[in-house]
């Protein structure tokens, strides 16, 4: 801990500098800078090490946040990195993309008028700087169990499961249909939030730890799932949720209407110069773009369109500004970069003859609360109008994408198409096929990266118990 227990009064919260708007809208690099050593240790020293660490309770992986803040403030960078990795397999990624404002930092005691500790920026500094100085996960003492686990999906859940398994002497072999690891970390989240070199560095770390990757292989197409059941002691499924939620409105089939995920994936293929990029790329240059939705994916589509050179970008959301579900940081960045917002606006129809010409919207107001305690929206009669558009991006979220072969192997689904898993403390996340475990968005529903990390780690714990190697 800092020698000055009142450091939070003397040193205000200071975040790393952001690239100027006029500069950053012309590139896809990360917009946030990095702390230097002095800045990081001073900011970490603002933590008051609460007797009740609300930041930990609000973190989906229950990070030991005050502990690694104290270690950094004391100058123990490598120890801080070790402590950070005890609960999080991807801290440098979560530090970049977690909505800290409504998680750890939102719960920080200092958030009430003094400025929350900048937990996210410190988290990524710890891992980035420790790796730069040569730190690597401590694998001394790990003994092979001669057990092998196949992991289907190299997204955050699969990577987290692999991390825990390899640390316990189990050989993880990770399969993914894409040529790069990361899943939506690589192909869905734009580089201005997460540069892909960060994900590739994590791949190198995992490989050094003993994780094996077999990429460009789609299970069920290039290789039967039964082969994994035969060749491995257990299988973990972390295949995400990739089915876009439709607005079920007229005009969605018009030329110029795009789903959010293919739009983002196509742009990243182009940025990374991957094969097939030209066919996947959707160009918004000089177009009037309307993005439908108010979550993180909608903000990603807003900011990607701006960087592609759109003439104008308008984002519609059926609730008010205070009801936005995504990261406030990404909303503010969208607004700063030139995106216009239409709040309390429900899309009714995408209009046009052969191609998009606009979106008909109606004004909404918040009504009574539903069974979940959230106010429902009500349309205000007589307030219809049309937003002119050359392109529309639908960003209403994602649903599970269960593979057609699940039923062939006794992997049951819930009515929601989520994979049914056990919630018992001994073998959590075990599916109805006792040899198969699952976690992440395909179990929980589309959610935060850090939630998928937690479920991948918990599923790995269940696998270790099932294999009786702990």
3-class secondary-structure state, position 452: helix
Q: Is residue 2 part of a domain?
A: no
**Average pLDDT over all residues of the chain:** 95
Per-residue pLDDT band for 52 (boundaries 50, 70, 90) equals: confident
pLDDT, tens digit, for every residue of 194-249? Answer: 999 999 999 999 999 999 999 999 999 999 999 999 999 999 999 998 888 988 99
CA–CA separation, 319 vs 323, rounded Å? Answer: 6
Per-residue pLDDT band for 333 (boundaries 50, 70, 90) equals: very high
Instruction: Assess whether 310 and 261 both reside in one domain.
Output: yes
Query: Is 80 exceeded by the pLDDT of residue 149?
Result: yes
Count Cβ atoms below 10 Å from residue 104 Cβ, excluding itself: 28
**Nearest-CA neighbor of 451 among 32, 61, 13, 9?**
61
Q: Which helix (H) or strand (E) holds 302?
A: helix 296-308
Among candidate residues 370, 397, 424, the one where a domain is terminated: 397
Instruction: Assess whether 155 and 187 both reside in one domain.
Output: yes
Residue 369: predicted pLDDT:
85
Query: Is 90 exceeded by the pLDDT of residue 83?
Result: yes
Instruction: Assess whether 373 and 442 both reside in one domain.
Output: no
Of the chain, the percentage scoring pLDDT greater than 70 comes to 98
Count Cβ atoms below 10 Å from residue 414 Cβ, excluding itself: 11
The pLDDT of 59-86, averaged and rounded, is 97
Q: Is residue 260 part of a domain?
A: yes
Strand partners, 394: 259, 292
- The β-bridge relationship of strands 243-244 and 398-399 is antiparallel
Among candidate residues 397, 426, 452, the one where a domain is terminated: 397
Whether the Cβ atoms of residue 313 and residue 413 lie closer than 8 Å to each other: no
What long-range pairs does 21-28 form, CB within 8 A, spacing at least 24? Answer: 21/336, 21/337, 21/338, 24/192, 24/337, 25/306, 25/307, 25/337, 25/338, 26/307, 27/192, 27/307, 28/190, 28/191, 28/192, 28/271, 28/307
Per-residue pLDDT band for 4 (boundaries 50, 70, 90) equals: low
Domain count for the chain, please give it.
3
Whether the Cβ atoms of residue 157 and residue 195 lie closer than 8 Å to each other: no
* Cα distances (Å, whole numbers) of residue 394 to 62, 236, 263, 286, 292: 33, 31, 10, 19, 5
Per-residue pLDDT band for 1 (boundaries 50, 70, 90) equals: very low
Q: Which residues, other chains included, contact 372 with Cβ-Cβ below 8 Å and sequence gap of 6+? A: none
Instruction: Assess whether 214 and 272 both reside in one domain.
Output: no
pLDDT, tens digit, for every residue of 247-260? Answer: 899 999 999 999 99
Query: Is 50 exceeded by the pLDDT of residue 175?
Result: yes
Q: Where are the alpha helices (DSSP H) in 347-448?
A: 441-444
Query: Is 90 exceeded by the pLDDT of residue 37?
Result: yes
At residue 183, φ and ψ (nearest 5 deg) are 60, -130
Query: 449-467 and 156-167 helices cross at what angle (nearest 10)?
Result: 40
pLDDT, tens digit, for every residue of 10-28? Answer: 899 999 999 999 999 999 9
Instruction: Assess whether 24 and 91 both reside in one domain.
Output: yes
- The β-bridge relationship of strands 358-369 and 385-388 is antiparallel
- Name the token pair of 330: 């990404």
Whether the Cβ atoms of residue 464 and residue 168 lie closer than 8 Å to each other: yes
Domain residues for 435?
Answer: 147-241+400-467
* Cα distances (Å, whole numbers) of residue 183 to 61, 157, 357: 20, 10, 34
The pLDDT of 93-105, averaged and rounded, is 95
Q: Tokens 């990360």 belong to which residue? A: 30
Residue 313: predicted pLDDT:
98
Among candidate residues 99, 132, 165, the one where a domain is terminated: 132
Query: Is 90 exceeded by the pLDDT of residue 181?
Result: yes
Domain of 315, CATH number, reads 3.50.50.60
CA–CA separation, 127 vs 84, rounded Å? Answer: 8
3-class secondary-structure state, position 170: strand
Q: Is residue 138 part of a domain?
A: no
Instruction: Assess whether 189 and 210 both reside in one domain.
Output: yes
- Name the token pair of 121: 């920026």
Task: Look up residue 253 and give its DSSP letter.
Answer: T
Domain of 100, CATH number, reads 1.10.1060.10
Query: Is 70 exceeded by the pLDDT of residue 138?
Result: yes
Of the chain, the percentage scoring pLDDT greater than 90 comes to 89
Instruction: Assess whether 424 and 457 both reside in one domain.
Output: yes
Count Cβ atoms below 10 Å from residue 167 Cβ, excluding itself: 19
Residue 367: predicted pLDDT:
87
Q: Is residue 1 part of a domain?
A: no
Q: Is residue 323 part of a domain?
A: yes
Query: Is 60 exceeded by the pLDDT of residue 2?
Result: no
Instruction: Assess whether 24 and 121 both reside in one domain.
Output: yes
Residue 368: predicted pLDDT:
87
Q: Is residue 117 part of a domain?
A: yes
pLDDT, tens digit, for every residue of 382-422? Answer: 999 999 999 999 999 998 889 999 999 999 999 999 999 99
pLDDT, tens digit, for every residue of 372-384? Answer: 878 889 999 999 9
Alpha-carbon torsion (87, 88, 91, 97), positive or negative: negative
Q: Which residues, other chains included, contact 200 with Cβ-Cβ below 8 Å and sequence gap of 6+? A: 180, 181
Instruction: Assess whether 118 and 20 both reside in one domain.
Output: yes
Q: Is residue 261 part of a domain?
A: yes
pTM: 0.95
Instruction: Assess whether 392 and 258 both reside in one domain.
Output: yes
Beta strands in 116-242 (DSSP E): 147-152, 170-176, 212-215, 234-237
Instruction: Assess whether 253 and 229 both reside in one domain.
Output: no
Instruction: Assess whether 251 and 310 both reside in one domain.
Output: yes
Q: Is residue 13 part of a domain?
A: yes
Whether the Cβ atoms of residue 240 and residue 153 lie closer than 8 Å to each other: yes
């Amino acid at each position: 801990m800092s020698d000055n227990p009142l450091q939070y009064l003397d040193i205000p919260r200071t975040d790393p500098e952001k690239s100027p708007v006029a500069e950053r809208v012309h590139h896809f690099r990360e917009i946030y800078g990095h702390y230097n050593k002095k800045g990081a240790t001073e900011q970490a020293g603002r933590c008051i090490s609460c007797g009740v660490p609300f930041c930990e309770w609000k973190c989906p992986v229950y990070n030991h946040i005050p502990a690694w803040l104290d270690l950094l403030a004391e100058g123990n960078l490598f120890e801080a990195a070790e402590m950070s990795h005890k609960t999080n397999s991807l801290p440098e990624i979560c530090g970049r993309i977690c909505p800290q404002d409504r998680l750890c930092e939102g719960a920080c005691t200092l958030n009430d008028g003094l400025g929350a500790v900048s937990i996210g920026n410190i988290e990524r500094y710890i891992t980035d700087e420790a790796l730069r100085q040569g730190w690597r996960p401590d694998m001394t003492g790990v003994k092979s169990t001669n057990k092998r686990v196949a992991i289907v999906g190299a997204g955050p859940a699969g990577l987290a499961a692999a991390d825990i398994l390899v640390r316990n002497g189990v050989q993880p072999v990770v399969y993914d249909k894409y040529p790069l690891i990361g899943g939506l970390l690589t192909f869905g989240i734009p580089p201005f939030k997460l540069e892909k070199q960060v994900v590739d560095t994590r791949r190198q770390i995992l490989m050094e730890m003993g994780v094996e990757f077999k990429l460009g292989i789609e299970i069920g197409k290039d290789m039967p799932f039964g082969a994994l059941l035969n060749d491995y002691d257990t299988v973990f499924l972390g295949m995400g949720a990739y089915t876009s939620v439709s607005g079920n409105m007229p005009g969605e089939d018009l030329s110029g209407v795009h789903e959010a995920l293919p739009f983002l994936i196509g742009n990243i293929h182009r940025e990374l110069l991957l094969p097939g990029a030209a066919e996947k790329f959707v160009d918004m240059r000089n177009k009037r773009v309307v993005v439908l939705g108010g979550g993180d994916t909608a903000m990603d589509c807003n900011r990607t369109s701006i960087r592609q050179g759109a003439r104008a970008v308008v984002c519609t959301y059926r609730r008010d500004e205070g009801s936005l579900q995504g990261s406030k940081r990404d909303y503010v960045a969208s607004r700063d970069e030139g995106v216009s917002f239409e709040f309390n606006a429900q899309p009714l129809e995408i209009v046009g003859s052969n191609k998009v010409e606009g979106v008909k919207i109606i004004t909404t107001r918040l009504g009574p609360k539903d069974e979940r305690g959230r106010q429902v929206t009500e349309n205000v009669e007589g307030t219809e109008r049309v937003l002119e558009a050359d392109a529309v991006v639908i960003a209403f979220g994602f649903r599970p994408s269960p593979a057609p072969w699940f039923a062939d192997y006794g992997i049951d689904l819930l009515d929601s198409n989520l994979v049914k898993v056990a919630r018992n403390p001994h073998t959590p996340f075990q599916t109805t096929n006792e040899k198969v475990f699952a976690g992440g968005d395909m179990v929980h529903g589309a959610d935060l990266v850090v939630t998928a990390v937690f479920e991948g780690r918990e599923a790995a714990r269940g696998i270790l118990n099932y294999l009786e190697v702990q």
